[in-house]
Amino acid sequence: MADNSMLVSETGRSLLADSSGLDSKIIETSKDNVLPGSVLDVEEEMPQIETRVVLVQEAGKCEELLKALETIKIMEVPVIKIKETSPGKSEEKLIKSVIHMEIKVPYIKTETIEELGDWDSPEFETIFVVSDFQDSIFNNLCKADCRVVGPPVVLHCAQKGEPLPFSCRPLYCASMLNLVLCFTGFRKKDELVKLVTLVHHMGGIIRRDFSSKVTHLVANSTHGDKFRVAVSLGTPIVKAEWIYKAWEKRDEIDFCAADDDFRNQFKVPPFQDCLLSFLGFSDDEKANMEEMTEMQGGHYLPVGDERCTHLVVEESTVKDLPFEPLKKLYVVKQEWFWGSIQMDARAGESMYLFEKSESPGLKKSVSLLSLSTPNSSRKRRRLKETLAQLTRETDMSPFPPRKRPSAEHSLSIGSLLDISNTPESSATNGETPKSCARPSKNSTPLPVKQSARWQVAKELYQTESNYVDILTTIIQLFQVPLEKEGQLGGPILAQEEIKTIFGSIPDILDVHTKIK
């Protein structure tokens, strides 16, 4: 795929190489900002040159442009260092630093570059202003490695009071200035080359590999590692149309392609490239979910259609599938569907896969948890003693009641009915039970004033009360702050990660609150 290939333009420059250091940035630099190498005085490395701005053809006829150039007095000029190479190889030029130089002559008009005669002379640092980035003059200037900018760049600098920028590539406008883009899912090389070129013309930076520095992922597919990482990091994912439409607005000086209202028109919907089927839902629910699917960029098919990419299952009503699913089919719970809509991006299927209630994997995990070894027995006994000590040192235990008698060797009813560690028991009985004063190793004496039936009911209530308190703490102390908007420095976790961590805890809390 084009994701992993290096694309080279006609001038031999890599289009997908990282270029964050020298790409189309309007930044203030000085001779202190130098690249690695020997540090010499700028005057010793750079001959005395003359700066000039040349308006080509239509650019010289724009009155607004002429007035803007009269206000711009400074341009950025690169300091070139010649790197020594082995005999027989062409010399290599490195940009050591960028300095500011005064523009003594505001502009020169010309119809053809040949009229200048010395247009490619090293004695001049020339910026060519060209209105059409597709005509033959532009192509000739690019082949000669000349500095070329569009009229919007000049107007932008005049408006902001900035010097004319240095750019290692032709720069038409600044609508993608400081944006770092990465591409995924593009198979046609010609299309990708065109998109990359337009991004460079608008001041954007291209990175071949996805990282946290990428500000936008341009996706032609919802598959692949780049897409998944972008979803996890909350990086905006947009269609290629975003670049084309931004280029159409290239002459608008104040336009920014990263504007939320503009960018959101071209975001990749959650169910793009997805064909969904729904199993186990009522007719109303199914109709609603099918409507939501189309609103979110997907399509729906009848259950069993081989073209289907996702089968969404209502796990509470479906215990087994009516057919053997194909390997390419994702069989997911309905949480995947609603989670994708909530995150505004296709969620990862692996955490939402539907499994049969009596699957071998589940049985195996239960059997492994039930294994009893001498080592695990010692750990349980040590944990039990530690918890007992903590309970004696505090007014109320933060842990759920002890295990049922079925898990103990002793079947003493006292162990089942012990609620001596709960505050309710002391308040109800009006005194400290004997079990608190003299704890027994295997069993706890039954409080004499209440019946066994009352004790069982009380322990059931206390179990629910403790569990509800724990779930409430998890939500209030962790989930709510993580989901809070406007966090300083941005959100700590993406919505998909929060969903993975907390799952259905709010629903579980609601059920157990009712039980309590």
CA atoms within 13 A on the CB side of 210: 23
The per-residue pLDDT for 386 is 58
Distance CA 377, CA 389 (A): 18
pLDDT of amino acid 23: 45
Residues in the chain: 516
Positive or negative, the CA dihedral 236, 241, 243, 247 is negative
Contact between 242 and 218 under an 8 Å Cβ cutoff? The reply is: yes
Blockwise average pLDDT, block size 10, the chain, 516 residues: 39 39 38 37 54 86 88 84 62 73 82 72 83 88 88 91 88 93 92 94 93 92 87 90 94 92 92 92 93 93 92 89 88 91 86 72 44 50 58 45 42 38 43 43 55 87 90 90 78 83 90 91
What 465-474 contacts at long range (C-beta under 8 Å, 24+ apart), as own/partner pairs, is 465/516, 466/397, 466/398, 466/399, 466/400, 466/401, 467/400, 467/512, 468/509, 468/512, 468/513, 468/516, 470/398, 470/400, 471/505, 471/508, 471/509, 471/512, 472/509, 474/502, 474/505
318-345 burial, b at 16+ Cβ within 10 Å, e below that, comes to: beebeeeeeeebbbbbbbbbebbbebbb
CATH number among 3.40.50.10190, 3.20.20.70, 3.30.70.100, 2.100.10.30, domain 180-266: 3.40.50.10190
CA distances from 16 to 93, 174, 198, 415, 483 (A): 20, 19, 13, 70, 36
Nearest to 396 by CA among 417, 415, 424: 424
Structure tokens at 366: 């239960």
- Class level of CATH domain 50-82+92-160: alpha beta
Quote the pLDDT of residue 385: 64
Residue pair 255/249 in contact by the 8 Å Cβ criterion:
yes
Spatial contact of 207 and 236, defined as CB atoms under 8 Å apart: no
The pLDDT of residue 378 is 58
How far is it, in rounded angstroms, from Cα 368 to Cα 171? 64
Q: How many Å apart are CA 54 and CA 33, to the nearest integer?
A: 28
- Structure token pair of residue 179: 């944006």
Cβ contacts of 130 within 8 Å, gap of 6 or more: 56, 57, 59, 137, 138, 141, 148, 149, 150
- Separation CA 379–CA 355 (nearest Å): 32
* pLDDT recorded at residue 438: 45
CATH class given for the domain over 275-351: alpha beta
Tokens 């918890």 sit on residue: 387
Q: What is the largest CA-CA distance in the chain?
A: 112
Domain ranges of the chain: 50-82+92-160, 180-266, 275-351, 454-482+491-515
Query: Hey, do 50-82+92-160 and 275-351 end up sharing a CATH topology, with the first three levels equal?
Result: yes
Q: pLDDT value at position 483?
A: 85
Taking the C-alpha atoms of residue 495 and residue 351, their distance in angstroms, rounded to an integer, is 14
Block residue for tokens 């009911």? 457
